[in-house]
Chains A and B, each alone.
Chain A
């Protein structure tokens, strides 16, 4: 009897084991499922129009008419919002949520990236004067009028005083001076700046806040203001002007917004938008949980990564969602090289002088660039859901220099470049002119699986050149400390987000005194030492670029900066991930753009209840 049971037991174990090995269980698809962005075929509605109804200046959406009612559930990864104060947001989740509740004067056109009015009715630029005309008759959620006083208050008493998140003030500071703001009448204000400064106009997208509600707190100083509108504020007390207002916040679980009935945007029938009653953010801890929630139909939208893209694409045909490819995002992944030639306080070099000779050699860096196999990185690490990157501007930037050619892997050329510089091979190992074996460290932040995988591939690629690479993933905070404080590193794999609209935002990285000028960081004490000629040129380019106002005038300047980075390779760009988003079919009026993503028009989006809830289940 016992024997029989044992035999059955073992048979089951072996059976299960064999089943696991079956190929059919593992879909093996290597080809790129998604090749071209399918959003190129979308027909976008015309631009919003200003109309006057009963003496009020409304903004009319030209999107197709929808139905009122319903709710959309989306997810926010992380711990949830830290504050609902739009002037004090420091993280992406908080600013996205504050952005729903508070509109700024101007905004970015979702498709062209041009600056267009939002809360303002119109604007005029006349030399260094920026005149803003406000809408008449539009109201805060507590039915008080939005007037020039609120704009004056927001800029004079919050932004220019550096209350909340001071980066807004930093961005408006032009050579140490703040713009002047004058009130012309109740619905007109004028900004005057000292000298032409291109990034200024976009800064006017700063959220406008109600003076009567904010002033008692801003008067009490920074610490009171920073605690103002923290997440445990009673939602009913918040006065805002955006398309949605806060309904409920449950810590670590969800944030619920409801439509603002006082919003100033109307549809083609002149009915007040937004269409949806509620917008719910579920706070999820990580992407795995997010996927589960999407599959359990608890959320309506998900950003897909890596191998999930192929899995979802296969099932898209008979499912209740559509997948959009929004093209490469603004994030960049890169390998950077430490060109620092300075000594620390104790007279010790940050970088070993032997290594300095290699790293500061332009051809050495170029050889590295040729040795890297971006194609297989994208295939193996990003599962094909990325595009190779060679420029300092991200691929969806309107300033992208399209003349810079893609570099494909060329081991022979890389070796030739090294040999020309006096490096030589002995038994397959690379030695420099002075007989030093080429060996250095490569850092990245541990725990980031993508960067760890990149590190392994880069190590392999460079070891084929005969170099010895010690790949060391270290804790994120320690890595940042090395890059920005102690400067004792050789190579590092990092990522940064950029702006697709304003290249001047990269000044901290590219100007020689920038706080993120990682590849040649200098303390404030020795600002001018060891500056490379191309670094000087970059400084000049960034200085000039900000002074020109026209896109046509600025483009060549920023083209040149990308060219310099492309030639000098202090930073070697790897790839940009592609944004792929799945959204339920019942959600209509979706007009995704590469610049603004998918949910920029939440006030126009509506739910089509007649839409079938999906013909097959998602598994």
Chain B
């Protein structure tokens, strides 16, 4: 009962937030001195009538408030409109979303599978050689800019020829059998995954280590040890459950980054994801496309936080109590 009520309350809170976000982004894009028709205007073979037609089609002749209202109306109806090139926004997004999801979910899965255990080991074996080496490595991982690392790996791919230079599939992908398709896809994914993995792993591993250290230092762990529980039980049964709670909140944020996440890396690797699409849309002031992706980003962020909060309620009795008390 408590949970459903809590969720409906949270969802209702989302509505004014979405309106606010859309208002701000819409006006900022429209008020910037970018003319979506600049390229057409500079084309010697485009006539004045053509320009007028385009202005009508993009609603540029109407006041900005009316533009916003007509955009909002169709957005609520689920119609994302057309890009400035006349393609459906929903189609464009549909082409790209699966690719970005594929990339980011692999990265998140890998980082959590590797980062959490590494964090635990580093905390348990604090101040040993292993911990020190991990610290150095994660510092490097955090310090190296993602685009730079991506370019280094691209150079590596060019020189060795072991990996393809960017993209997601080879040109003869559709003529391959299932096994070769899998190999081809993996080959293309190795480098971008490596970049994103290296960068988010360091942060996650460090966070986990810090949480774990804090918990290991607390009184009840000392008590559990004093009670004579095995070290394994102390760490995994008592300490871990408490140390992992803040990580769940973190997962909520990562969920938001799932779609918009890795624009820079996507760009360098020419990965056909959402990030590249949005970047190009902003440069052209393609309002429908930018707005659609911004709204999706906002919804994902809110959804991610919601999921994280619910998960927290399930794992942590303390949050459950405060919610119920409210």
Q: Which residues of A are in contact with B by a Cβ distance under 8 Å?
A: 73, 79, 82-83, 88, 90-91, 165-167, 170-171, 226-227, 230-232, 248, 250-254, 256, 280, 282-285, 289, 292-293, 295-298, 475-478, 480-481, 484, 496-498, 505-506, 508-509, 515-516, 619
Contacts and interface: CB of A to CB of B under 8 A. Distances in A.
A306 to B, nearest CB: 19
Contacts of A232: 91, 95
A170 B174 contact: no
B96 A480 contact: no
Contacts of B159: 619
A516 B44 CA distance: 7
A298 B165 contact: yes
A263 to B, nearest CB: 22
B52 to A, nearest CB: 10
B154 interface: yes
A495 B304 CA distance: 47
Contacts of A166: 47, 49-50, 53
A30 B92 CA distance: 46
Contacts of B161: 296-297
Contact of B35 (A226, A253, A296, A481): A481
Interface of B: 33-36, 38-42, 44-51, 53, 85-88, 91-92, 95-96, 154, 157-159, 161, 164-169, 171, 173-174, 267, 270, 272, 276-277, 280, 285
A284 B276 CA distance: 11
Contacts of A283: 270
Contacts of B36: 477
A232 B88 CA distance: 10
Contacts of A282: 167, 171
B45 A167 contact: yes
A292 B276 CA distance: 19
Given A82-B87, A476-B38, A280 B171 contact: yes
B87 A508 contact: no
B49 to A, nearest CB: 7
Given A250-B272, A252-B95, A296 B45 contact: no
B45 A251 contact: no
A481 B38 contact: yes
What does DSSP make chain A's interface, helix, strand, loop or mixed? mixed
A506 B44 contact: yes
Contacts of B158: 292, 295-296
Nearest to A482: B33
Contact of A171 (B33, B45, B154): B45
A481 B47 CA distance: 16
A298 B270 contact: no
A251 B171 contact: no
Contact of A477 (B33, B173, B276): B33
Given A82-B85, A252-B277, A298-B164, 18 more contacts: A90-B40, A90-B85, A166-B53, A167-B47, A170-B47, A232-B95, A248-B174, A251-B272, A284-B270, A292-B158, A292-B166, A296-B157, A296-B164, A475-B33, A477-B35, A480-B35, A505-B44, A516-B41
A487 to B, nearest CB: 13
Contacts of A253: 167-169, 272
Contact of A82 (B47, B50, B86): B86
